[in-house]
């Protein structure tokens, strides 16, 4: 059997072609054992992929088995990071000719998404709500870009720090209630309501002592555990109406 899988190389997409030897052996109890090995591989990388199996039961007995795997899927995680250790552990035969170095971009997993949401939640709770700017420095990348900066702030890490500090100074008890978060790849969208008591000057308005709240929806891109981009919409009209 020959399997072909597309991967991403520096020169563009490349096709990895792997020849498999499949063997099926019946057993005395009516089962069939299937084994496989790679007999020809084009690179020195180990080949790995995920198997998925389904079994249909009828009258408490297995009646049908189906299986699929993702080794033919584009950009399969671990594909390029794997092929020669497995190949050399079989009979050591490799296809001749140079092969471009391959890099696989791993698709974000559910675990990645939860970790990204945790980064954004930590920013809301510990930085915006707790005023911990050591955590701010940890969470925000140095090349962070704010695509929707507030008036008077720069669209970078320094501008966002200034915004957060201004909010903390004007509303010392500033905090957020997060209603929901969703993830699309490395982009986390959050809907939340901010609360605070107006104790300091804010946008030219003297302290009123009023408790205020306003809603925001923002999207933050998280890479390698750090926030690298932001887009946001806040109900500033509601906030200004509450401040009078």
Range of the domain at 15: 2-88
Same domain, 156 and 210: yes
Residue 1: the pLDDT is 56
d(CA 123, CA 131): 10
Residue 73: the pLDDT is 40
Same domain, 117 and 84: no
Same domain, 79 and 117: no
Same domain, 47 and 138: no
pTM score, two decimals?
0.56
Q: How many domains does the chain have?
A: 2
d(CA 235, CA 181): 18
Q: What is the mean pLDDT of the segment spanning 64-85?
A: 45
Residue in the structure block whose two tokens are 């007995």: 61
Same domain, 232 and 131: yes
Same domain, 81 and 143: no
Same domain, 221 and 125: yes
Look at residue 82 and tell me if it is in a domain.
Answer: yes
d(CA 4, CA 14): 10
Percentage of the chain exceeding pLDDT 70: 55
Same domain, 82 and 120: no
Outline where DSSP puts E strands in the chain: 2-9, 12-26, 32-40, 51-58, 61-69, 102-103, 140-146, 175-184, 187-197, 211-223, 226-234
Looking at residue 41, the DSSP 8-state letter turns out to be B
What is the tens place of the pLDDT at every residue in 7-40?
444 445 455 565 656 666 666 665 555 555 555 5
What is the tens place of the pLDDT at every residue in 95-129?
444 434 444 444 455 678 899 999 999 999 999 99
């Amino acid at each position: 059997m020959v399997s072909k899988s597309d991967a991403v190389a520096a020169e563009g997409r490349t096709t990895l072609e792997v020849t498999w030897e499949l063997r099926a052996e019946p057993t005395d109890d009516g089962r069939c054992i299937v084994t496989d090995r790679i007999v020809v591989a084009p690179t020195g990388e180990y080949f790995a992929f995920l198997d998925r199996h389904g079994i249909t039961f009828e009258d408490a007995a297995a009646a049908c088995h189906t299986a699929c795997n993702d080794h033919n899927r584009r950009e399969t995680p671990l594909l390029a990071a794997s092929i020669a250790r497995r190949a050399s552990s079989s009979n050591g035969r490799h296809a001749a000719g140079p092969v471009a170095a391959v890099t696989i971009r791993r698709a974000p997993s559910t675990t990645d998404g939860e970790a990204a949401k945790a980064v954004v939640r930590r920013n809301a709770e510990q930085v915006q709500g707790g005023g911990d700017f050591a955590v701010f420095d940890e969470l925000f990348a140095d090349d962070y870009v704010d695509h929707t900066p507030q008036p008077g702030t720069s669209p970078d890490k320094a501008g966002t720090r200034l915004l957060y500090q201004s909010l903390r100074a004007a509303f010392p008890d500033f905090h957020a209630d997060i209603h929901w978060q969703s993830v699309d790849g490395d982009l986390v969208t959050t809907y939340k309501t901010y609360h605070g008591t107006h104790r300091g000057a804010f946008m030219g308005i003297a302290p009123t002592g009023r408790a205020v709240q306003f809603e925001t929806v923002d999207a933050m891109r998280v890479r390698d555990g750090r926030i690298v981009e932001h887009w946001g919409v806040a109900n500033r009209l509601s906030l200004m109406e509450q401040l009078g």
